[in-house]
Amino acid sequence: MKNRRKGFTCGRDRSERIWFVRRMMGRVGGMLLQGMLVLCGLAVCSPVALLLTGSITDSMELGQALSPIFYEGEGFLSWRLLPDYPTAASYGKLLFLSPQFFVLFWNSVKITGLILAGQMLVAVPAAWAFAVYPFRLRGVLFSLYVVLMLLPFQVTMLPSYLVLDRLGLMDTQAAVILPAVFSTFPVFLIYRGFAGIPVALLEAGRMDGAEEWQCFVYLGLPLGAPMILSALVLGFLDYWSMVEQPLCFIQNRSLWPLSLYLPQIGLKQSGFAFAASVITILPAVFLFLLGQDYLEQGITMSGLKE
C-alpha cells in the first residue's frame, strides 16, 4: 500500500511539474509574440514618426541629416526623434504661402467625393440586384465582374484612354471620375452584405405589402450598412492617394489631385515636403479612425459569407 501511495504521489508531482512547465512555456511564448507584435507596430509607425519629426525640423538641421542621400555626401544618415530646434516654419509656408496646395487639395476632395457618391448610386443597386433577384445569367455576369476587379490599371489603361478620347473627356477630371464610378470592387464588397440577408425576411416583408423599393430601403440598406460603409472607407483610402489615373488622363496641372503635388517638390524643400505629407494623410487617418468599426464588421461579414 505504501509503495502504491508513493507511486501515486510521484505521478501526481510529475504531472504537476509538466503542467507547470507547459504553463511557463505558454507565458514565455506569449511574451515573445507580444514583443514581436510591438516591434512590428513600431516598424509600421516609424514612417509616420519620420514625417512628424521632419515636418518640425529646421531646414539647416534637416539638410545636415539628409545630406548623404540628397546631396551625395559622405557618412551615414542620422535622424533624431526630437530636433534640436523645432520649428513650424514649414507649416506656415505651406498653409499661408502656397495657394497651389489648397487648389490641389480641393481637387482631391472633389474627385474623391464625386467618385464615392457615384459608386453608391451605381454599386448599391447593382449589388442588391445580384444578391436578391435570380435573373438569367446572373452567375456569368457576376463572374465577369470579379474578373474585371482583378485586372490592374496597366491592363485597362489603353482601352480607357481610347474610350475617354473618343468621348472628348481627356484632360478633364471626369476622365478620372467616371471610370472609377463604375468600379466593380464596391459591387463585389456590398454584394457580400446583401447576400447574407435571409430570404424569409424579404418574403415576410413582401407578404406584409412592402414593395420592392421598400424592401431595399427599409431592409437592405440597414442590414447591409457595414459593407456599404466598408466600401466607402476603402474607396476613400484608395482614391485619395491615386497617382496613375490622373497622371495618364489629365495634363493640366491645375486639375491634378493632391497626390501629384508631393512629387513636384524639390529636394531642397524637404521640410516643406514633410509638412505637406502630414497634412495629406490627415483626412485618410481621420476617416479610418471614424469608420474602423464598420470596416472591421464589413471584413468579418465578407469572410464569413459563402
Band (pLDDT 50/70/90 cuts) for residue 2 is: very low
Percent of the chain with pLDDT over 90: 6
- Which cell is 230 given? 466598408
The number of beta carbons lying within 10 Å of the beta carbon of residue 261 is: 21
Q: Dump pLDDT digits (tens) for 13-30.
A: 666 666 666 777 777 777
DSSP letter (8 states) at residue 170: T
Q: How crowded is the C-beta side of 143, counted as CA atoms within 13 Å?
A: 4
Q: Dump pLDDT digits (tens) for 81-90.
A: 777 777 788 8
Q: What is the average per-residue pLDDT within 239-266?
A: 83
Counts for the chain of helices (H) and strands (E), in that order: 15, 0
Distance CA 207, CA 58 (A): 70
Q: Which residue has the higher pLDDT, 78 or 1?
A: 78
Band (pLDDT 50/70/90 cuts) for residue 306 is: very low
- Which cell is 16 given? 504537476
Mean pLDDT, the chain, whole residue set: 79
Residue 230's closest CA among 195, 285, 190? 190
Which of the residue ranges 54-63, 88-97, 144-153, 228-237 would you say has the lowest mean pLDDT? 54-63
Band (pLDDT 50/70/90 cuts) for residue 305 is: very low
Grid coordinates 456590398 are at which residue?
A: 190
Q: Dump pLDDT digits (tens) for 143-199.
A: 887 788 888 888 888 888 888 888 888 888 999 999 899 888 888 888 888 888 888
Highest mean pLDDT among 18-32, 58-72, 102-116: 102-116
pLDDT for the residue 304: 44
Band (pLDDT 50/70/90 cuts) for residue 116 is: very high
User: How would you class 286 by CB atoms within 10 Å of its CB: exposed for 0-12, middle for 13-18, buried for 19 or more?
Assistant: exposed
pLDDT for the residue 301: 59
Long-range contacts of 156-162 (CB under 8 A, 24+ apart): 157/244, 157/248, 160/249, 161/248, 161/249
Biggest CA pair distance of the chain: 100
Q: Which residue has the higher pLDDT, 109 or 226?
A: 109
The answer to whether residues 188 and 146 touch, using CB atoms and an 8 Å cutoff, is yes
Residue 262's closest CA among 247, 274, 249, 245? 274
- Say if residue 71's pLDDT is above 60: no
Dihedral sign computed on CA atoms, order 105, 107, 109, 115 = negative
